[in-house]
Amino acid sequence: AQSVTQPDIHITVSEGASLELRCNYSYGATPYLFWYVQSPGQGLQLLLKYFSGDTLVQGIKGFEAEFKRSQSSFNLRKPSVHWSDAAEYFCAVGGGTSYGKLTFGQGTILTVHP
């Protein structure tokens, strides 16, 4: 069965600091990997996704993620965090012919200090 683990429930960073959110997955075949952000009152917004090709993926809002097959990881990074990045972040995995079916991690809440 597929699963996603986000080890950090809550992360606090200062504005302008770098950020890395961890994601580990378990999937029996080639995974499709996603990062979503959820803000209160808004739907999940896709930050970036990895299907194949270059293992370093660029997303919106200055985020990037790197797929490391050997470590079963897909960590999200941002070089300089803005106060507006405070939200909850979800990593998700899917793949194969189960079009659209996603398994989500537990989420990481990001707090940004001024």
Partner 1 sequence: GAVVSQHPSWVICKSGTSVKIECRSLDFQATTMFWYRQFPKQSLMLMATSNEGSKATYEQGVEKDKFLINHASLTLSTLTVTSAHPEDSSFYICSARDSGLAGGWGTQYFGPGTRLLVL
Q: What distance separates the 2 farthest-apart alpha carbons in the chain?
A: 44
**Cα(19)–Cα(64) distance, integer angstroms:** 10
Contact 41, 31 (CB under 8 A): no
CB of 66 to partner 1, least distance (A): 19
* Terminal C-alpha separation, the chain: 41
Is residue 67 within the footprint of partner 1 (CB under 8 A)? no
Is residue 32 within the footprint of partner 1 (CB under 8 A)? yes
Q: How many CB atoms lie within 10 A of CB 85?
A: 20
Is residue 51 within the footprint of partner 1 (CB under 8 A)? yes
Q: Which residue's CB is nearer to partner 1, number 3 or number 18?
A: 3
Is residue 28 within the footprint of partner 1 (CB under 8 A)? no
Phi, psi of 71 (to 5 degrees): -105, 0
Q: Which residue's CB is nearer to partner 1, number 70 or number 97?
A: 97
Token pair in block for residue 49: 């996704």
Binding window for partner 1 (CB under 8 A); candidates: 12-20, 68-76, 78-86, 92-100? 92-100
Is residue 25 within the footprint of partner 1 (CB under 8 A)? no
Q: Give the binding site for partner 1 (CB under 8 A).
A: 9, 32, 36, 41-46, 51, 90, 94, 97, 99-107
